[in-house]
Structure 1
Amino acid sequence: MVRERILSLFAVTLNHKQRMAGLWRSYQALMTRRPWTVQIVTAGSLVGIGDVISQQLIERRGLAQHDVRRTTKMMSIGFFFVGPVVGSWYKVLDRLVVGGSKSAAMKKMMIDQLCFAPCFLGAFLALSGVLNGLSAEQNVAKLRRDYTDALISNYYLWPPVQMANFYFIPLQHRLAVVQMVAVAWNSYLTWKANAL
C-alpha cells in the first residue's frame, strides 16, 4: 500500500516535471523566434498577476470586490511601458558595459540602480496616476508622497537581484527573470500606485 502510494506520487511528480520541461522548451522556442513579443507579453502578464496578488492578498478585496478594470490598466502598463522600456534598457546597458564578468555585472547593476531605476520608478508611478484619472496636481502630490518610499524599497530588493541577473542570465532572458521576481515587486508597486 505504501509502496503503491510512493510510486503513484513519483509518477505524478515525474509527469509534472515533464510538462514543465515541455512548457519551458515551448517558451524557449518562442523566445528564439519572437523575443521582443514574448518579453512584452511576459511583462504585461506578470504586472497583471502582481495587481491580482495586490488586490487579493495585500488589500484583501475578495473576488467579488476585485477591480478588473484596474488589473487591465496595470497590465496595459506592463505591455506598453514596462516590457518595451525595460527590454530596450537591457540592450542599451549591454552596449554600455560589455562583458559578463563580475566587474561588468557590478557596473551594470550600479548604472541600472543609480540611473535607470529612479527614472523608471517615477515614470511608472506617474503613468499609473494618469491612467487612474488623477489631475496633474494630484499626480504630483502622489509622487511626492510615494516616490521616496518606493525608491528606498526598490534598493532593498533590486541590487542583489540585478547583480545575479547581469552575471548569470543571458540578455534575452533578463526581462523574464526580472518579471518573475517582480511579481512580488509588482504587487507592491500596484498597491503603491493605487493607494489613495
Structure 2
Amino acid sequence: MSRIWASYNRLLETAPLLTKALTSFTGFTAGDALAQTFVEPGDKPYDYLRTLKMGSFGLLVHGTTGHYFYGMLDSKLPGTKPVTVATKVLIDQTLWNPCFGLMFFGYLNAVEGKSMTEYKEKIEQDLQTAVMGSWAVWVPAHTINFGFVPPAQRLLYINTIQIGYNIFLSFLGNKEVEGGDEVKEKDETKKEL
C-alpha cells in the first residue's frame, strides 16, 4: 500500500493535472456505479453510457477545474488558521459550489444532446437542491480539507468523499425534469416551425 501511495505522490509531482483528472474520473465512475447498483430501483438495466458520462465529467471537468480552483485558493489564502479555513470554506460553498452545479448539469445536458430550454428547466428544478445538499456534506468536509490535508492531496481527499456524494449527484443529474415531456414537445414544435 505504501508503494501505491508513493507512486501516486510522484504522479502528483510530475503530472498533477492528469493525476487529479484521473482521480476524479475514478470517483465519479464509482459514485454512479454505486448509485445505479444500490440506490436506484433495481428494475432498470445498468446504464453503462450513463456511467461513462459521469466518469468523463470527472475526467474532463471536475479534476481539471478542481486542480486550478483549489490551487488558486491555496495560493491566495495560504495557511491553516481558523479564519483562513473558514474563508476558504465560505468561498468554496458560495462561489464554487453554484458554478460547479451549473457545469455539472450543463455537461450532462450537452453530452445528452438536450436543448438550452431543458438545461434551464434542470437548473430551475435541481440547482438549489444540489447546492443545499452540498452544504450538508462539504462544509464539514472542507473544514477538514483546508485545515489538515496537504494541498497536493486535496483533490484525492475530495474525490474520496465525492464517491458518496456522487451517488446523490448521479441520482439528481440523471433525474428527469418534471414536465420534461412538455419541454420536449415545445422543442419539437419549434423545430417543425
| Contact 1:45–1:78 (CA under 8 A) maintained in structure 2 | yes
**Matched residue, 1:40:** 21
Q: For 1:181, which of 147, 161, 170 is the aligned residue? A: 161
Structure 1 residues 50-78: Cα deviation after superposition (integer angstroms, max 9, x where no partner): 1111111111447x811111111111111
Alignment of 1:67-78 (within 5 A): 67-78=47-58
**Matched residue, 2:32:** 51
Residue type at the aligned position of 1:118 = P
- The answer as to 2:142 corresponding to 1:162 is yes
Structure 1 residues 86-116: Cα deviation after superposition (integer angstroms, max 9, x where no partner): 1110011112212222221111111111111
Alignment of 1:80-159 (within 5 A): 80-159=60-139
> How far apart, in 1, do the equivalents of 2:34 and 2:112 lie?
19
**Matched residue, 1:79:** 59
Paired residues in the alignment total 176
- The answer as to 2:33 corresponding to 1:28 is no
> How far apart, in 2, do the equivalents of 1:185 and 1:111 lie?
19
Identity %: 27
| Contact 1:44–1:76 (CA under 8 A) maintained in structure 2 | yes
Structure 1 residues 4-58: Cα deviation after superposition (integer angstroms, max 9, x where no partner): xxxxxxxxxxxxxxxx233222222222322221111001111111111111111
| Contact 1:54–1:191 (CA under 8 A) maintained in structure 2 | yes
Which SS does the other structure have where 1:175 is aligned?
helix
**TM-score scaled to structure 2, two decimals?**
0.86
| Contact 1:45–1:75 (CA under 8 A) maintained in structure 2 | yes
Once the two structures are TM-superposed, the CA of residue 189 in structure 1 deviates from its matched residue by 0.5
For structure 1, which runs of at least 5 residues remain unmatched after alignment?
1-19
Which SS does the other structure have where 1:65 is aligned?
coil
Once the two structures are TM-superposed, the CA of residue 168 in structure 1 deviates from its matched residue by 0.5
- Structure 1 vs Structure 2 CA RMSD: 1.5
Once the two structures are TM-superposed, the CA of residue 133 in structure 1 deviates from its matched residue by 2.4
For structure 2, which runs of at least 5 residues remain unmatched after alignment?
177-193
Structure 1 runs of 4+ off > 6 angstroms?
A: none
